[in-house]
Amino acid sequence: MTGIDGSGKGHVTAGLEAALRARGARVAAILADGWLNLPQVRFGREKKAEHFYLHAIRFGDLFDKLVLPLRDRGSLRLAADLAEETAVAYHRHVYEFRDIEVVVLEGIYLLKRAFQGHYDLSFWIDCSSETALERALARRQEGLPSAETVDAYRTIYFPAREIHGRMAAGHTSGCSQDSGSN
C-alpha cells in the first residue's frame, strides 16, 4: 500500500487489515515509516527531492530483515532499530509474528522497481497534492510549523513523488498484480 505522505495509506491499510482479519486471515501489517533514516541522512542540502527519494527509508534493512523473511517463513522475531519522524536517535522495537498468511506493507516509494517482484498485489493510493498538504498541516507533519510544512511539501515531497512516478515506470496508479508466485 503506497502513495505520497498524506494520501491516506494508513487509513486504507488499517481497513484492509481489519477486513482480512474478519475473514479469518492471519495478517501482519508493517509500516515502513518506522524504518526512516535519521534526519541528517534523510534530508540533503542539494537536490532535496532526489536525496529524500533515495535516502528517506532504510529499504534494504526493511526488506532483508523483516518483510522477505516474514513472507517466506510466516513467523519471525526481530529486534530492529526504528525512528519516528522527528527522532535524533533510533529506538529498539521487537517484532514478533507467528503463522502469518498475509503481509500488508504500507509506506512511501514501495513501487520502486527493485521491490515490485516481491509483491503479489500492490496499490497506489492516489491523492491530490492539495488534499495531502491539508492532511499534513492538520497533523503537523514532522513537527514543523505550517509555513515549513508547505515549503517541505513543495520542495521535497511533491517533487519526490514525481521522481517516484518516473522511476516506477507505469505502476503509479490503480493497482497492479504480479504474476509471480511470491
3-state helix, strand, coil in the chain (%, to 5): 45, 20, 35
Higher pLDDT: 132 or 102? It is: 102
The mean pLDDT value for 33-56 works out to 95
Q: What is the reported pLDDT for 134?
A: 94
Higher pLDDT: 167 or 106? It is: 106
Cell for 122?
Answer: 500492490
pLDDT tens string 109-168: 999 989 999 999 999 999 999 999 999 899 887 778 899 999 999 999 999 999 998 877
Q: What is the reported pLDDT for 142?
A: 76
Distance CA 67, CA 30 (A): 8
Q: What is the reported pLDDT for 154?
A: 94
Q: What is the reported pLDDT for 166?
A: 85
Domains of the chain: 9-177 (3.40.50.300)
